[in-house]
Amino acid sequence: MLDDVRRALVVAAHPDDLETIMGGTTAMLTDRGVEIVEVVLTSGDIGASGEIPHGVTRGTLAAVREEETRAAAADLGVRDVVFLHRPDGEVVADLHLRADIARLYRRYQPDSVFTFDPWWPGQAHPDHAAAGRAALDAYMPSKMPLYHPEQLRDGVAVAQIKHVFLFGGTTREDFVVDVTPYWDRKVQATLRHRSQFPDPEQPLEWLRKWSGEAGARISVPYGETFARMDVW
Ligand SMILES: [Zn+2]
């Protein structure tokens, strides 16, 4: 299903979304020579629980999480990470976000976009649904030269996206990617998020269970699921 992917852009909501949801697929694609750009709408700046240590603010946490994300991206061979600095927990798929994502589609010229399924009724995090909504909303106008023509200066062309893949729970027919050969890299990249997973020996049992259930559908140890959305 991913054989045609040459250059991909991932629209995520939070710093660890890519690693936990498609870290294995990302490593598989970059090993194959696919260029991947990771767009993260927030910097995960409310990603803390329990008693907040003295001196930790949303600003300091955002800086830490951006560093963690860049380290994880390097582990997975991701070419570039772009943060759009929307407030964590308050992402809205508004016209500004649509234009910001369209600008990135035009600048990076991906043939494929990966993002959340905004229609999945099981989605508990509003930022995930909003990220998917904004990414899909940007798709069509980004192809049209009269939409934000100021983005098309200096040789930047309209977007030419051919494939859209939805992740993170979908309403549509899934396919499963066997990520067993990339499992260790997925775990390593996930554990780069020390602010979220402070014990490096932590076995990430939830991730193992989640990926194991996906893998079981195609009789392999670990899988990641996606749905293909028809675009033209
Ligand atoms: Zn998330």
* In a domain? residue 1: no
State whether residue 136 is helix, strand or coil: helix
Q: Residue 143: give the domain boundaries.
A: 7-229
Question: How confident is the model over 21-35, as a mean pLDDT?
Answer: 98
* In a domain? residue 221: yes
pLDDT tens readout for residues 93-144 = 999 999 999 999 999 999 999 999 999 999 999 999 999 999 999 999 999 9
Question: What is the count of structural domains for the chain?
Answer: 1
Q: Distance from the CA of 29 to the center of ligand 1, in angstroms?
A: 21
- Smallest CA-to-CA distance from 12 within 102, 113, 144 is with 113
Kindly report the number of other CB atoms within 10 A of residue 119's CB atom. Answer: 14
Average pLDDT, the chain: 95
Question: How confident is the model over 63-75, as a mean pLDDT?
Answer: 97
**What CATH number corresponds to the domain at position 52?**
3.40.50.10320
Percent of the chain, pLDDT > 70? 99
* In a domain? residue 2: no
Edge-to-edge strand ranges of the sheet holding 80-86: 80-86, 35-42, 7-12, 112-116, 163-167, 223-229, 174-178
Q: Distance from the CA of 116 to the center of ligand 1, in angstroms?
A: 10
Look at residue 11 in the predicted model and tell me its pLDDT: 98
Q: Distance from the CA of 11 to the center of ligand 1, in angstroms?
A: 11
Look at residue 83 in the predicted model and tell me its pLDDT: 98
Look at residue 53 in the predicted model and tell me its pLDDT: 84
Residue 226, pLDDT > 80, answer yes
**pTM of the predicted structure, to 2 decimals:** 0.96
State whether residue 181 is helix, strand or coil: helix
* In a domain? residue 72: yes
* In a domain? residue 194: yes
* In a domain? residue 68: yes
Q: 221: buried, middle or exposed (CB in 10 Å: 19+, 13-18, 0-12)?
A: middle
pLDDT tens readout for residues 139-190 = 999 999 999 999 999 999 999 999 999 998 877 778 999 999 999 999 999 9
* In a domain? residue 77: yes
* In a domain? residue 157: yes
Q: Distance from the CA of 13 to the center of ligand 1, in angstroms?
A: 5
Q: Distance from the CA of 215 to the center of ligand 1, in angstroms?
A: 21
